[in-house]
Structure formats: structure tokens, C-alpha cells
Structure 1
Amino acid sequence: MIDLTIENNVAEIVLNAPAKLNSLNEEALGELSSAYDDAAAAAASGAVRALVLRGEGRAFCAGRDISNVHPETDDAVAYLGGLVTPLLRKMAEFPAPTFAAAHGACLGVGLGLLVATDVVYVAENAKLGSPFANLGATLDSGGHWLFTERLGAHRTLDLIYTAELMTGADAVAAGLFSRVMPADELLQRTRDTAQRVASGATGAFRASKALVAGIRDRRIGLWESISEENTAQGELCGSDDYAEGFAAFQEKRTPVFRG
């Protein structure tokens, strides 16, 4: 149910179980993890310089596939801690810019996949939130962090207690994700952006990705962040893309970056 294609330096990973709204069981999580491994190997060789994640059908991902889960034998810690969390970390550390095109239901683990992606574009018809109150469970896969960080404690608990869902437009207006788009334009615009980024100075983009992760995960302050920026810039100034960018600017032409 997980498809991977690579074309023009862009990897596209597709959640392809539309009849189940792309919900993920243990097997599907394994396939998704393997797809990211394969894409990362291609990135290491220079064949992939950006990645797009999307879902087929009416939804991006409705979360965990619980159709065959029995509460009396379920091991949520094994599913989340053993499978989901390592996948999310792998996604967040992918060695190239990553993009997600999210439409329809984006819930539970599906929301977590978006948390672990660099840039998320959502359709106006996207549905995001915490439906877990209806299951006697709690929000997982990074949802508490995302909502509290972007929305504050009061709005987070309001969403959790009521199980009310936000539209894609509401989510972007609240600062959860990058941009909202009409559903019929979402995928092509996401692909176009990823293609444009893949033609850019992806080494510099990787440096920015690491700098942002440091601010997010280590809570570094202004001056430490500036110091790390200085170090990153110093490392980049010896690169071919750095030389090309400066030469193109001085010669008044479009740069040709190699990544």
C-alpha cells in the first residue's frame, strides 16, 4: 500500500490504501519506513534532492488502522514507541527538503506524519484535530506538541476534550502548517514547489533544516543560533553551490546548483 517513485530528483511516496482512508497498520508502517530508507539512499547518491508525501483517494491518512485491533490484547506502546516514533524521527531527519500534500482526514498517526515533514501544504477540505475522545484514548504521534506549540494550552485542550476538527483553512490561519490551497490544485502545486526546491542549493537547505531543528528541539537562544548559523555558513562557503551562487549573482545569470 506504499508506493515510491523517483523522477527528476524528486521522490514521491504515496499512501495507497484509499478504501481504508490510508490508515496504517503495522505492515504499512514497515513499508513506509522502508520507502523512506530507499529514498534516503537515493538522496545520499544525489539522485533525490526533495521528497513529496501524499495520500491516494479521499484522505491523506485517517490514522491507525484499528479494524482488527482488540483492546484487550492491544499493545499501544509497541505500536507507537516501537513503530511510529522511529518512523517519525526518520522522516524528520530525511537528508533533503520534504513536502506533504494533505487533504481530507489527517488524524492520529496521519497528523504525526505531517508533524515530521518539513513543509506541509493542506487542502481547504482537510480535517485535522483529535478524535480520540470518541475512542477513550489520547492524542498521540506528536499531536500534543504540535497543538500546544502552535495553538497554546487552552485551544489544545479544547480540541482534545471536544474532538472537534479544524479545516485546512483554519489550521493554516492558526499557524499549524504552511499554506492552504484548493483541493484540486494541492498536489500539482506541491509537486511544482518540490521540483523547484530540488533544483536549488539543497546543501544550504539541509543546513537550514538542522538549524531549525536545533531551535525546535534544543530550544537554543538567539546568540547560540547565530553562532551555529556562522558555523554553517563557513562550511557552505567552501561548496561548489556557494561559488556558483555568487558567480551567477555577479554575472547576472540564473545559478545552476548541483546540490
Structure 2
Amino acid sequence: MNNAPLIFRREGDIAHIRFNRPNSLNAIDSAMAAVFLDTCQRLAAAPDIRVVTISGEGRAFMAGGDIAQFRDDPASIPDTLIGPMHEALQILTTLQAPVVASLQGAVAGAGMSLALACDLAIAADNTRFNFAYVNLGTSCDLGASWHLPRIVGLRRALEIALLSDPIDATEALRLGLVNRVVPESSLQQETQAIAARLAGAAPTAVGTLKRLFRTSGSRDFASQLAAEQEGFAACAATPEFSAAVAAFLGKRRVPSGR
């Protein structure tokens, strides 16, 4: 059995990150945070990676931060846990490769924040979200206060954060917290299928779209139009664009660009 807190593997141009503390419902401690940051740094140095999936071993995606560390060494949390996780998420959200969360069971606290930070989220029908931070007497981390209002709106985000009521998979889909819900037995297959579709798309187009959407909130309309024009020009200069246009005109299947 692999006792590492995180398992990383590649399948061609798809990278898989799997949290591996199932006995603790994959709760983050400082050791896991350090390995997660190192893994994200490796991804940033591998431009041939086209898609990243993130999942959790066992019954849960992630049940939040490690309560034992909260109890035994709370002063260490900001620097040795939150700091590395924040650095890792800055890398993931700026990668050209889209990041897909594959969720099951408990998705609570930091686990929910991490899921919100991913570009797409596929949930098993047994997934249960809980913001949970207020129940531990603390505010949030891992970008939850940035992502949640942008996904569900400010008023609903405050309700989710302040009341911390459990949210089942069906409600998460209605709120836009996830993109689709599948039977638990189909979660891995569905995640792989989505990853394969994304890996087969033109990488410059995918990366440019991700960047445009993620940075749109910091620009006015005129600046966003200029960024779109610049992005289109960059895509149009790639072989994938020429092949796609030729395929469309010839009613042929578009090459994957591999």
C-alpha cells in the first residue's frame, strides 16, 4: 500500500492528483500541503500536460483540515498548511491545463474550497458539501471567499458560509457548485471521459479561454475586449486553428492536435 499523503501519476498528457489519507477522510495536514505544493510546481514545469484531475482516496474527497493538527499545533496552520496550499492553488488556477475535480462523499471546509477552485467539478451522487469553517470558529481559506460569490452570488454565498447547512449533490448541481452529478459507480469513468475530451481539444484555445474567464473580473469591458482580441490572434497562429478551420470547411473530423 502507498502510504504517501498524495499520489501523482501521468497517463500521457493527463495528470492525476489523488489525496491519500483515507483513514482521515483525506483531511489536509502540513505534510500533505507540502507534497501538494511540490506536485503543483512539477505541473507548472510540464507544459505538455493538457488536463489535471484531482480526487480523493476512499469514502471522501476531503473533509477539511486535519483537526488533530488544529488541536495540537494551531499556531503552525497559517504558515505550514494554508501558505503552501495557497501557493499551490495560485499555480493550478493559472495553468493552461484545465483542472477537473472528481468528488465523492464529504467535501467540507478546505475540501469544498479546493473543489471550488477547480475549473470543472464532477460529483458522485453521494457527495455532501459543507462549508464548515464557522463550526470550527474560523473564517475560510483556499480562495473560498473569492470563488463562492462568483459561482452562486453574494447573498447565497453568505448563506452557505454563515449557516453551513449540508448541501447534497442535487442541490450542489442546482447551485452551480458542480457541473454534473453521476452515480458513484460511474465517477471515475465520467472523470476520465471529461479529461480525455479536454485533452483532445486545442491546448492554446483551452488555455486562453481559461485565462480569459478567470481574469475577466479584474478588467473593464474595453480591456476584456482587447484581451479577447489578443487571445484570438494567439490561437489563430497555431497549427490547431488551421487544422480545425480546414476540417470545418471540408466537413472532416477535427484532429486532436496531439
Distance 1:223 1:180, change over 3 A: farther
In structure 1, how many angstroms separate the alpha carbons of the residues matched to 2:130 and 2:146? Answer: 13
Does structure 1 residue 8 correspond to structure 2 residue 12? yes
Partner of 1:29: 33
* Preserved CA contact (<8 Å) 1:8 1:195: no
CA contact (8 A) 1:50 1:194 kept: yes
Residue 15 of structure 1 and its aligned partner are, at CA, apart by 0.6
Aligned partners of 2:34 and 2:81 also within 8 Å: no
Distance in 1, matches of 2:250 and 2:152, equals 46
The 1:86–1:245 alpha-carbon spacing in structure 2 relative to 1, beyond 3 Å, is same
Whether 2:167 is the aligned partner of 1:157: answer no
The answer for unaligned runs of 5 or more in structure 2 is: none
Q: Which runs of 5+ in 1 are unaligned?
A: none
Tell me which moved more, 73-82 or 120-129. 73-82
After superposition, where does 1:111-190 map in structure 2 within 5 Å? 111-190=112-191
> Is contact 2:96–2:210 with CA below 8 Å preserved after alignment?
no
Write the letter of the residue equivalent to 1:128: F
User: Normalising by structure 1, what TM-score?
Assistant: 0.89
Aligned amino acid, residue 239 of structure 2: D
Distance (Å, rounded) in 1 between the aligned partners of 2:162 and 2:215: 32
1:181-217 deviation per Cα after TM superposition (whole angstroms, max 9, x unaligned): 222212211111111210110111011011011113x
In the alignment, what sits opposite 1:233? 232
Give % identity: 26
Query: Is the partner of 1:23 in helix, strand or coil?
Result: coil
TM-score normalised by length of structure 2: 0.90
Query: Any runs of at least 4 consecutive aligned residues in structure 1 with deviations exceeding 4 A, and if so which?
Result: none
Cα 1:235–1:77 change in 2 (3 A) is same
Q: Show CA shifts across 1:21-67 (max 9, x none).
A: 1111111111111222223333x2x2x21111111111001111121
Aligned length: 254
Distance 2:161 2:98 in 1: 31
